[in-house]
């Protein structure tokens, strides 16, 4: 039967929930919502649910007559709810208003409805507030004892209904609790406690919180109203509607469980009444079931009102939450920050591109259901903000903030849902909704498609998260010969692998572009020469090597710096492997036998096997094809042989914020944790590890194929140290990224300050790290030129920022500020070059905020 159902006070606390329930049957019944308020969003929602909304007052007799005469059901929720809770709070005029709305309004309805119409009315447990002794499980037939105006008017309403001869249901509600957007309801005890808890406050428990309270969840109250409407056999009856009875202290205890930071403060004052509780036996006997409870409601309210740990990123990518998997498949969920009223389904072909625009007002949200993209975005409000890239996979939600230009490059055939709040009217394209802004040209799209990495180089996982973006940068070691020479720019970004904890670049530049003609000769530096001399002596002793028989390979041997000490000790069988033609030529000329090429499968035949010792210093960071390189190393080493890897240590980078270690040649950033994970994939084991000084902090690990080898304590200790530092926690990496952006700000401010003294600023040292840092900071004209020890770099320019590199004699007098860019050699440089300047500054000193 189609019923005409009226909900008075439908915009209120209970009315809102009841309307939601009726939205499910609004095509079967005629539903009218009457409220004297007008809340535009709610009214719009009610109309979209196929319900009628009438703004009007039940004190208006003609309005009541026209709407209620033929009603089948009235949920009579209208009434003043902002009521005094103690005698001292109440005033005469307010009391009269409460009474008027309650009595006259209800009478107006009772006067016009027909005898078959069922009127369902919320009364309150407070009608028993006058009972002096503690009484529990009060049943429906107990005489009411109201004191204050609210309870009194409810008691009068009950009598009006009972005397009316109409079909009524009275529900005596316990304290109704639960999340709602209705701000009036914060003062209900469980809601108030949840609010205080969400703000880390103090819960005051008067009389030790011993008072008992009958409570009922909001959604179950709304459900019970609908239940009473549906049950034709329930006529002219009264029910207590309460779910649970607890002491105030017990409610506080639940709050404390969800936020241990809150304080509970008990006072020992006397209260006139320790409360009472209602029995819900009669209600349960009708078959009504409660579905919600206090614990979950308190948890929800605390969560919704707590300071949220929101991501401040311009753009972020999120996996779905609350994953539910069974044999039919998987469900994942995304909770949105705002209502969505428009969904676009967008399909895109592999290799194509969309967006290249920004939204001045709206947040864009895209849920990817199939395929994959590279997303490129840039803050257009902050000048010089870096252009950032990010992979988004199927199942992920990408959120882009207003005024962030963005572009999608589709790396697979892709489908996504565009979730929009407001309009996406093409008439407003270019005005309010979407404004064109090209940040990726066709050529750059092709470059990204070619060099982007979608899987972890170490373990193959696709779960990579962005740590830091240093913007688009030139290849740091590819110095340019002329100032107007153009450099290719590639994103310089570090991602973190959630699975194996390796950090790595988002792109892989063709190694031939970087390593074929290499200007970095290790032997230029005395520190490195000494390092390898000491290392050779140590290995000779510790590994019991034999000068005549032992065969030693060095991978990425540069100019032979690591092998030279072995030759000088008298070793006969050594081999370098070096991809840079100029360097291998130089090494061979110096009688250090060197194979020119990469260590890769196709070259393996040309290299003699069964090495007793393989050295790989600083190449482990430099390999895009890690697994292939490791396979080759393991096939070259003898059964008992040792592989010794030296690589820059991620822990130092993270602790010292040496982000300038990041450049395109360094594909990977290793911790012992991620190295151990890496070698687990092969039949090999790291059995020893130690920290060394080179490159601002490195680690040296010892690997053997021998499965029975005993793992030394050094490995266990270092792993523990890394774990304590947070090497397995993405937050550690996010903090690092945020600090690096802060450093950029500080350096630029400090440089401006130094520039004020009017002296020339000259750089010292042009290592790759200087290129990374200068390009990230955007420092170019501020530095006049850079002097450098390495002759091969003279008269070239740092790519990107185009600062010229000169020999030291270019400095004519000491009236300058010498900014040491090769900061890891600062003390040596300062000591050995006192003739060049009176004022040496380490670029690292500019990083702090002073």
Site residues for Zn ion per CB under 5 A:
456, 458-459, 461, 497, 499-500, 502
Q: Residues 502, 507, 511, CA angle at the centre, nearest 5°?
A: 100
Residue carrying structure tokens 């779960």: 463
Q: Return the H-helix or E-strand segment holding 553.
A: strand 551-555
- Cβ proximity to Zn ion, 459 vs 803, nearer residue: 459
Q: Which helix (H) or strand (E) holds 32?
A: strand 30-35
Q: How far is the CB of 500 from Zn ion (least distance, A)?
A: 3
Local structure of 39: helix, strand or coil: coil
Q: Name the percent of the chain in helix, strand, coil, to the closest 5.
A: 35, 30, 40
Q: Which is nearer to Zn ion, 157 or 648 (CB)?
A: 648
CA–CA distance from 538 to each of 358, 522, 535, 566 (Å)? Answer: 59, 20, 5, 11
CB of 671 to Zn ion, least distance (A): 12
DSSP E strand boundaries for 56-186:
73-76, 118-124, 135-138, 167-173, 175-177
Minimum gap (Å) between residue 696 Cβ and Zn ion: 24
Q: What does the block give as tokens for 547?
A: 């000068």
Q: Taking the complex as a whole, how short is the minimal distance between the CB of residue 662 and Zn ion, in angstroms? A: 18
75/228 Cα distance (integer angstroms):
10
In 684-750, the DSSP E strands lie at: 685-692, 698-704
Q: What is the dihedral of CA 635, 637, 638, 644, to 10 degrees?
A: -150
> 34 near 6, Cβ under 8 Å?
yes
Nearer to Zn ion, 277 or 458 (CB): 458
Nearer to Zn ion, 729 or 827 (CB): 729
**Quick check: 344 and 376 in contact, CB under 8 A?**
no
Distance CA 103, CA 89 (A): 22
Alpha carbons 774 and 790: distance in angstroms, whole number: 19
Which residue's CB is nearer to Zn ion, number 456 or number 561?
456
> Shortest Cβ distance from residue 733 to Zn ion (Å)?
13
Q: For residues 457 and 806, which CB has a smaller minimum distance to Zn ion in the complex?
A: 457
Only one residue has tokens 């005024």, namely 403
- Shortest distance (Å) from residue 648 CB to Zn ion: 18
Q: What is the C-alpha separation between 394 and 411, in angstroms, rounded?
A: 12
Query: DSSP for 342-398?
Result: EEEEEEE-TT-EEEEEE-SSPPEEEEEEESEEEEEEEESSSTTPPPEEEEEETT-EE
Other residues' Cβ atoms within 10 Å of the Cβ of residue 191: 24
Q: Give, in degrees to the nearest 5, the angle at Cα 386 between 383 and 389.
A: 140
Write down the least CB distance from residue 672 to Zn ion, Å. 15
Query: Of the two residues 499 and 581, which places its CB atom closer to Zn ion in the complex?
Result: 499
- Alpha carbon of residue 651 to chain centroid: 22
Q: Closest CB to Zn ion among 103 and 463?
A: 463
* Closest separation in Å from C-beta 319 to Zn ion: 16
Between CA 375 and CA 367 the distance in angstroms is 13
Rounded CA gap, 717 and 672, in Å?
10
> Least distance to Zn ion from the beta carbon of 359, Å?
34
In the bound state with Zn ion, the residue whose beta carbon lies nearer, of 38 and 454, is: 454
Q: Which residues contact 627 (CB under 8 A, 6 or more apart)?
A: 457, 681
Q: What is the dihedral of CA 608, 614, 617, 619, to 10 degrees?
A: 50
Cβ–Cβ < 8 Å for 391, 454 = yes
Q: Nearest approach, Cβ of 687 to Zn ion (angstroms)? A: 22
Q: Which is nearer to Zn ion, 499 or 794 (CB)?
A: 499
Residue 393 beta carbon to Zn ion: minimum distance, rounded to whole angstroms: 15
Residue 238 or 459: the one with the smaller Cβ distance to Zn ion is: 459
Radius of gyration of the chain, Cα coordinates, nearest whole angstrom: 37
Q: Select 502 or 661, whichever has its Cβ closest to Zn ion.
A: 502
Q: Which is nearer to Zn ion, 416 or 667 (CB)?
A: 667
Residue 160 or 372 with smaller CB distance to Zn ion: 372
30-35/4-8 β-pairing: parallel
Nearer to Zn ion (CB atom), residue 108 or residue 396 = 396
At its nearest, how many Å lie between Zn ion and the CB of residue 374?
Answer: 19
Least separation in angstroms between CB 497 and Zn ion: 3
Asked if residues 269 and 207 have their Cβ atoms less than 8 Å apart, the reply is yes
Q: Which is nearer to Zn ion, 502 or 550 (CB)?
A: 502
Q: Looking at beta carbons only, is 497 or 675 nearer to Zn ion? A: 497
Tell me, what DSSP letter sits at residue 412?
A: S
Minimum CB–partner distance for residue 320 and Zn ion (Å): 21
For the CB of residue 455, give the shortest distance to Zn ion in the complex, in Å. Answer: 8
Please give the Cα distance from 35 to 783 (Å, whole number). 71
Minimum CB separation from Zn ion for residue 502, in Å?
5
The structure tokens listed for 664 are: 């395109």
Q: How far is CA 166 from the centre of its chain?
A: 58
117: closest CA among 52, 174, 186, 167?
A: 167
Least CB distance from residue 457 to Zn ion, whole Å?
7
- Indicate the residue among 161 and 459 with the shorter CB distance to Zn ion: 459
The nearest distance, CB 692 to Zn ion, in angstroms, is 25
Give phi and psi for 228, each to the nearest 5: -65, -35
């Amino acid at each position: 039967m189609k019923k005409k159902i009226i909900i008075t006070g439908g915009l209120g606390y209970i009315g809102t929930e009841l309307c939601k329930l009726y939205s499910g049957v609004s095509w079967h019944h005629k539903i009218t919502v009457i409220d004297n308020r007008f809340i535009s969003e709610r009214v719009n929602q009610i109309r979209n649910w196929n319900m009628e909304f009438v703004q009007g007052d039940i004190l208006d007799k003609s309005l009541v007559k026209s709407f209620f005469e033929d009603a089948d059901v009235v949920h009579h929720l209208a009434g003043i709810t902002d009521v005094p809770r103690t005698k001292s709070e109440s005033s005469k005029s307010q009391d009269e208003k409460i009474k008027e709305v309650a009595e006259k309004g209800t009478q107006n309805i009772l006067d016009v409805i027909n005898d078959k119409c069922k009127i369902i009315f919320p009364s309150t447990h407070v009608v028993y507030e006058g009972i002096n002794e503690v009484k529990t499980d009060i049943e429906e037939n107990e005489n009411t004892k109201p004191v204050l105006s609210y309870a009194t008017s409810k008691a009068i309403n009950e009598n009006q209904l009972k005397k009316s001869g109409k079909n009524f249901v009275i529900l005596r509600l316990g304290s109704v609790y639960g999340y709602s957007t209705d701000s009036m309801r914060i003062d209900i005890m469980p809601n108030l406690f949840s609010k205080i808890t969400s703000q880390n406050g103090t819960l005051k428990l008067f009389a030790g919180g011993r008072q008992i309270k009958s409570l009922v969840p909001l959604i179950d109250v709304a459900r019970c109203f609908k239940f009473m409407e549906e049950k034709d056999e329930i006529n002219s009856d009264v029910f207590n509607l309460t779910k649970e009875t607890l002491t105030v202290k017990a409610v506080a205890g639940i709050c404390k469980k969800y936020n241990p930071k809150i304080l509970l403060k008990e006072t020992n004052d006397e209260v006139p009444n320790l409360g009472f509780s209602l029995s819900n036996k009669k209600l349960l006997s009708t078959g009504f079931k409660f579905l919600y409870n206090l614990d979950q409601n308190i948890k929800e309210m605390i969560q919704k009102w707590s300071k949220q740990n929101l991501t401040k990123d311009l753009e972020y990518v999120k996996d779905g939450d609350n994953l539910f998997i069974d044999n039919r498949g998987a469900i994942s969920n995304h909770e949105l920050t705002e209502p969505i009223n428009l969904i676009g389904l967008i399909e895109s072909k592999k290799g194509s591109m969309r967006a290249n625009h920004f939204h001045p007002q709206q947040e864009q949200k895209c849920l990817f259901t199939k395929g994959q993209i590279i997303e490129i975005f840039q803050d257009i409000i902050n000048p010089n903000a870096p252009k950032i890239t990010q992979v988004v996979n199927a199942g992920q939600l990408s959120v882009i903030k207003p005024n962030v230009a963005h572009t999608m490059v589709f790396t697979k055939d892709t489908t996504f849902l565009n979730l929009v709040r407001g309009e996406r009217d093409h008439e407003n394209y270019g005005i309010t909704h979407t404004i064109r802004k090209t940040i990726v040209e066709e050529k750059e799209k092709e470059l990204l498609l070619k060099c982007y990495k979608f899987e972890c180089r170490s373990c193959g996982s696709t779960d990579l998260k962005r740590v830091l973006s240093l913007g688009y940068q030139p290849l740091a070691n590819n110095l340019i010969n002329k100032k107007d020479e153009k450099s290719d720019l590639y994103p310089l970004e570090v991602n973190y692998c959630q699975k194996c904890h390796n950090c790595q670049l988002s792109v892989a530049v063709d190694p031939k572009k970087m390593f074929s003609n290499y200007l970095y000769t290790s032997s230029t530096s005395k520190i490195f020469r000494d390092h390898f001399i000491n290392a050779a002596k140590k290995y000779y002793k510790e590994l019991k090597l034999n000068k005549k028989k032992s065969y030693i390979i060095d991978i990425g041997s540069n100019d032979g710096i690591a092998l030279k000490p072995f030759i000088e000790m008298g070793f006969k069988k050594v081999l370098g492997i070096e991809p840079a033609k100029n360097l291998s030529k130089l090494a061979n000329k110096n009688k250090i036998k060197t194979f020119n090429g990469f260590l890769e499968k196709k070259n393996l035949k040309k290299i003699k096997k069964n090495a007793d010792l393989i050295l790989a210093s600083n190449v482990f960071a430099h390999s895009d094809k890690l697994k292939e390189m490791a396979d080759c190393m393991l096939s070259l080493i003898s059964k008992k042989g040792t592989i010794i890897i030296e690589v820059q240590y991620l822990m130092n980078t993270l602790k010292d914020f040496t982000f300038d270690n990041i450049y395109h040649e360094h594909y990977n950033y290793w911790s012992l944790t991620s190295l151990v994970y890496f070698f687990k994939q092969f039949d090999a084991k790291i059995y020893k590890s130690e920290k060394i000084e080179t490159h601002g902090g490195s680690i040296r690990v010892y690997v053997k194929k021998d499965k029975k080898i005993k793992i030394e304590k050094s490995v266990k200790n270092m792993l523990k140290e890394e774990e304590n530092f947070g090497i397995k926690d993405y937050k550690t990496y996010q903090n690092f990224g945020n600090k690096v952006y802060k450093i950029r700000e500080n350096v630029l401010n400090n440089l401006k300050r130094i520039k004020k003294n009017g002296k020339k600023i000259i750089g010292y040292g042009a290592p790759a790290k200087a290129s990374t840092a200068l390009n990230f900071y955007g420092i170019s004209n501020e530095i006049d030129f850079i002097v450098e020890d390495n002759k091969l770099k003279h008269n070239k320019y740092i790519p990107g920022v185009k600062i010229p590199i000169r020999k030291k004699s270019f400095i004519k007098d000491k009236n300058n500020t010498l900014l040491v860019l090769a900061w890891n050699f600062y003390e040596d440089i300062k000591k050995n070059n006192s003739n060049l300047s009176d004022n040496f500054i380490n670029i690292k000193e500019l990083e702090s905020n002073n």
